[in-house]
Structure 1
Amino acid sequence: MKRREFLFKSAMMGAGMILSPELMRAGNKAVGANDKIRVGLIGCNGMGFSDLSTFLDNPEVECIALADVDQSVLDRRVADVEKRTGKKPKAYKDWRKLIDNKHVDVVIIGTPDHWHCLQLVAACEAGKDVYCEKPLGNSIEECNIMVRAAEKYNRVVQVGQWQRSDPHWQDAVDFIRSGKLGKIRTVRVFSYQGWCPSIPVKPDGPAPDGVDYDMWLGPAPKRPFNPNRFHFTFRWFWDYAGGLMTDWGVHLLDYALYGMNVTAPNSIMASGGKFGYPDDACETPDLLQTVYTFNDFTVMWDHAIGINDGAYGRTHGLGFVGENGTLVVDRGGWEVIPENVNGKARMEAVPLHKAYGGGGLDLHVKNHLQCIKDRTPEKCHASIQIGAHIAKFSHLGNIAYRTGKKLTWDGTTFHDAEADKYLCKEYHNGWKLPKV
């Protein structure tokens, strides 16, 4: 198997997910160019509602349903949609009822990472297109299953890696591939999140009134309710997510691979820990360096929580370090810093090319809507194949960190028993890993 093909094939078989008869409506209804596109949102408290709001900026979109396990969030978002559109969407505490709604054309998934696989597969099987927040899946095997579901049912799936639609990122890639930087020896990828505070330890307690906590847990291990594991901060606990490595890594590492036009590394190793906040509640590391080694260059991931000063005077971004100069890109734009040897620059500096003012999410949603109308899933800027690929690449870094080993990966297995156990998460509480 060629490493550059990075063929993440199925590593293990899972039990089938039990579906209601309605979920088996695997239709392939096309949306007419002048028809309303009716959307439903699962997970309404954070980025999911931002996604929905951007969908609603487009006149052909109508929101007809919302689902959330937190009644207070659900009530607030129903009111927000009604105020904006003049129409009150249906409200569900159980996301499966939203999937069962035959009038929903597109499902937006804004739930914690551990729910993405079940919800996306169910939506695809029900004949609905999907906009799924990143990272696509909470394990390598979940990503494989989700790709198979989208392909089997011919659904138009966009993953929420909106930088793929922001023009200045593509401009930077074009410059990188022009060869002007000379041979690129390494790509420095960094995410320093000084705004993110330490999470103090809090005692377990009862779930807030109106919260269906068992449904929030879903396939994750049964645990008492703890406010640190709920809403935004779920991402710092291994049961539900992968910390900054998968939260920001899918955005930034994606462009390291895209810019270098590569896929699979020869090896992965990582080092880090809870160095800034050793006694807080988080499980994922607050500092981590991961090195992906390719044939003739490396990609180096570097993140820190509670510190803002990353590299090149930025909090996040990438530095493509070439022999003639370094291209630096982040959400604010891109520039080229010449390599100086003995006081002589090897190339001309390129001043900052500022980013598109809209932020990219608006263009990302427009791209998805057009692909839905045209029934062209392959033209999604962050197709499910792209989203799965970079989610798995990010998971490789976490697995190297959790095992403390230098790992090799052939697209299916690490050939290491300790590492291979992280390929798939065990499902709990009666939920089954979907079988596609």
Structure 2
Amino acid sequence: MTTRRDFIKQASLIGAGLTFSPFIIRAGGNSVSASDKIHVGLIGCNGMGFSDLQAFLQNPEIECVALCDIDQEVLDRRASDTEKMTGKKVKHLYKDWRQLIDNKDIDVVIVGTPDHWHCLQMIAACEAGKDVYCEKPLGNSITECNLMVKAAKKYNRVVQVGQWQRSDPHWQDAMAFVHSGQLGKIRTVRVFSYQGWCPSIKVLPDEETPAGVDYDMWLGPAKKRPFNRNRYHFTFRWFWDYAGGLMTDWGVHLLDYALYGMNVTTPKSIMASGGKFGYPDDACETPDLLQAIYEFDGFTVLWDHAIGIDDGAYGRNHGLGFVGENGTLVVDRGGWEVIPERVNGNARMEAVPLKQAYGGGGLNLHVKNHLECIKRRDPNCNASIEIGAHIAKFSQLGNIAYRTGEKLKWDGTHFTNSKDANDYLTPHYRNPWKLPKI
């Protein structure tokens, strides 16, 4: 029988190319003995991080042995929630993520923190010999993403990025149709996210840090600021210090499929326009309306987002339209269809009626894919570190074009026509935190 300790040893040897004997879950049922367990620890328990943990716990080989959060109320609540789900107390509760990384009993780390923390935590986990499930977007800057790719490769870790649509089968079906060529030459890909549920964030005064919150640790490498509830928990994503707004929040899901469908990674140029048009006086820094145009050889990718409005393109509030000369394929989380191009009333191709989503949920499938890759020491997950880095950087290019107000030329590593734009490539970490060196 392969014990968990054997699994860790085998994982290290396989990563070094020294063995071909994988860790194998016992076949023939859902019963998995304690010695076969894969131990996971979660950093950042309040939102998607806990959803990710719930998906992991759907798999019988998983045991959650550690939770970490800087908010004691969140930590205690999620420890209770986990105990109710599993019937077991979580062995280790931490407020400092470094203690979780140092725990040698942990095999897989889930990074569910705000975006500005992903780089430090994911790289530290890799260096400690742990595999990682990292929430999207992979990093909060282009330099961070590049470092994270280097770290995963250097330490031979299996990293899955939380772009769970990569594991949803109807998206794969839609891409197979795009790749079939039936749409004809594709001239543009329209990508849109109209989020009517997202309200205006009213301006709130700074206040004392709530009891039980390690706010300095929450800030981490970001600029020192007084505590403000608008910058904390879910709404962190609307402030540049910690995230990139809707462009990186939803863009990494949707723009990812534009790149996948067109089989490209690097645009020639980017320009963007938008602003705070819907809520000019609210607390958010990131734009509530934004369009970005990415230029490639022979086609463009158009990003279009709005907050507080639900009526996007094709009667949907999110999705993609691959606009070909024969027809347009439209796909979102609900399914996909093909709308024929008509010339003088004649359709250039057959319509494909709506094919609804299926498969039981992308997040659960995404986690299963990660676990399968871990067991066979295969870094090529459905949303591998390279895939996550490509799309995080791609989304950040649009934000940088918006923030500089320039049409930017990009060679894959830096902007060739703007020093101001290049200044956005690398973050400035607050002491004592340092950008990792790989």
TM-score by length of 1: 0.93
Alignment deviations for residues 333-378 of structure 1 (CA, whole Å, 9 cap, x no partner): 0000011111111111100111115221111000000111110112
For 2:23, the equivalent position in structure 1 comes to: 32
Contact conserved, 2:276 with 2:289, CA < 8 A, in 1?
yes
Aligned partner of residue 91 in structure 1, secondary structure: strand
> What is the count of residue pairs matched by the alignment?
410
Alignment deviations for residues 10-63 of structure 1 (CA, whole Å, 9 cap, x no partner): xxxxxxxxxxxxxxx9x8277722321100000000000000000000000000
How much does 1:88 deviate? 1.3
Matching residue within 297, 300, 303 for 1:301: 303
For 1:52, the equivalent position in structure 2 comes to: 53
Aligned partner of residue 120 in structure 1, secondary structure: helix
Relative contact order: is structure 1 or structure 2 higher (C-alpha 8 Å, sep ≥ 6)? 1
Matching residue within 174, 178, 181 for 1:179: 181
Aligned-residue sequence identity (percent) comes to: 79
Matching residue within 210, 213, 217 for 2:212: 210
How much does 1:84 deviate? 1.4
Alignment deviations for residues 302-355 of structure 1 (CA, whole Å, 9 cap, x no partner): 000000000000000000001111000000000000111111111111001111
CA distance in 2, matches of 1:113, 1:264: 22
CA distance in 1, matches of 2:174, 2:428: 40
Contact conserved, 1:221 with 1:429, CA < 8 A, in 2?
no
For 1:264, the equivalent position in structure 2 comes to: 266
CA distance in 1, matches of 2:253, 2:187: 21
CA distance in 2, matches of 1:303, 1:335: 22
Amino acid in structure 2 at the alignment position of 1:219: P
For 2:405, the equivalent position in structure 1 comes to: 404
1:277 aligns to 2:268 (yes or no): no
Aligned partner of residue 392 in structure 2, secondary structure: helix
Alignment of 1:110-129 (within 5 A): 110-129=112-131
1:228 aligns to 2:219 (yes or no): no
Alignment deviations for residues 78-113 of structure 1 (CA, whole Å, 9 cap, x no partner): 111111112211100000000010000000000000
CA distance in 1, matches of 2:215, 2:409: 39
CA distance in 1, matches of 2:46, 2:62: 20
For 2:172, the equivalent position in structure 1 comes to: 170
Aligned partner of residue 191 in structure 1, secondary structure: strand
CA distance in 1, matches of 2:324, 2:123: 42
Matching residue within 139, 142, 156 for 1:140: 142
Alignment of 1:337-416 (within 5 A): 337-378=339-380, 380-415=381-416, 416=418
CA distance in 2, matches of 1:28, 1:284: 42
For 1:17, the equivalent position in structure 2 comes to: none
CA distance in 2, matches of 1:293, 1:351: 30
How much does 1:429 deviate? 3.2
Amino acid in structure 2 at the alignment position of 1:111: T
Alignment deviations for residues 361-407 of structure 1 (CA, whole Å, 9 cap, x no partner): 111000000111110112x0000010001000000000000000000
Mind listing any 5+ residue stretches in structure 2 that lack a counterpart? 1-8, 15-21, 26-35
Amino acid in structure 2 at the alignment position of 1:127: G
Aligned partner of residue 377 in structure 1, secondary structure: coil
Aligned partner of residue 366 in structure 2, secondary structure: helix
CA distance in 2, matches of 1:321, 1:83: 48
Contact conserved, 1:222 with 1:429, CA < 8 A, in 2?
no
Contact conserved, 1:325 with 1:339, CA < 8 A, in 2?
yes
For 2:28, the equivalent position in structure 1 comes to: none
Mind listing any 5+ residue stretches in structure 1 that lack a counterpart? 1-24
Alignment deviations for residues 248-286 of structure 1 (CA, whole Å, 9 cap, x no partner): 000000000100111211110000000000000000000
Contact conserved, 1:29 with 1:127, CA < 8 A, in 2?
no
CA RMSD of aligned residues (A): 1.1
Aligned partner of residue 79 in structure 1, secondary structure: helix
CA distance in 1, matches of 2:256, 2:85: 35
Contact conserved, 2:169 with 2:359, CA < 8 A, in 1?
no
1:97 aligns to 2:99 (yes or no): yes
CA distance in 1, matches of 2:243, 2:372: 31
CA distance in 1, matches of 2:324, 2:433: 49
Contact conserved, 1:28 with 1:153, CA < 8 A, in 2?
no
Aligned partner of residue 353 in structure 1, secondary structure: strand
TM-score by length of 2: 0.92
Amino acid in structure 2 at the alignment position of 1:328: V
Aligned partner of residue 408 in structure 2, secondary structure: coil
For 1:73, the equivalent position in structure 2 comes to: 74
Contact conserved, 2:268 with 2:410, CA < 8 A, in 1?
yes
CA distance in 2, matches of 1:58, 1:373: 13
Amino acid in structure 2 at the alignment position of 1:284: T
CA distance in 2, matches of 1:275, 1:241: 20
For 1:8, the equivalent position in structure 2 comes to: none
For 1:14, the equivalent position in structure 2 comes to: none
CA distance in 2, matches of 1:28, 1:277: 51
For 1:422, the equivalent position in structure 2 comes to: 424
